[in-house]
Amino acid sequence: MKGWLVALAAMALAVPAGATIVIAHRGASGERPEHTLAAYERAIDQGADYVEPDLVATRDGVLVARHENEISGTTDVASRPEFAHRKATRTIDGEQVTGWFVEEFTLAELRTLRARERLPEVRRANTRFDGLYPVPTLAEVIALVRAKEAETGRRIGLYPELKHPAYLATRGLDTPALLVAELDRAGLNRAGEPVFIQCFEVGPLKRLDGLTPLPLIQLVSAEGGPADLPGSTYRAMLSREGLAAIAAYADGIGAELPLLLGPDGTATPLVGMAHAAGLKVHAWTLRLENRFLPPLLRLGSDPDAPGDFARAWQLIRAGGIDGVFTDNPGAIPVRR
pLDDT above 70: residue 329 = yes
What pLDDT does residue 54 have?
Answer: 98
Cβ pair 56, 64 in contact under 8 A: yes
Q: pTM of this prediction?
A: 0.94
Does residue 99 lie within any of the structural domains?
no
Report the 10 Å Cβ neighbour count for 84: 11
What pLDDT does residue 7 have?
Answer: 35
Does residue 272 lie within any of the structural domains?
yes
Does residue 105 lie within any of the structural domains?
no
Cβ pair 320, 267 in contact under 8 A: yes
Does residue 251 lie within any of the structural domains?
yes
What is the distance between the alpha carbons of residues 88 and 108, in angstroms, rounded to a whole number? 20
CATH of residue 50: 3.20.20.190
Q: CA 61 → CA 2, 30, 117, distances in Å?
A: 28, 30, 25
Per-residue pLDDT tens digits for 80-123: 999 999 999 999 999 999 999 999 999 999 999 999 999 999 99
pLDDT above 50: residue 12 = no
Does residue 293 lie within any of the structural domains?
yes
- Domains: count for the chain: 1
Catalytic residues: 25, 67
Of 181, 107, 195, residue with least CA distance to 145: 195
What is the distance between the alpha carbons of residues 138 and 141, in angstroms, rounded to a whole number? 5
Domain that holds residue 228: 4-68+117-331
Per-residue pLDDT tens digits for 22-41: 999 999 999 999 999 999 99
More confident position, 39 or 12: 39
Does residue 138 lie within any of the structural domains?
yes
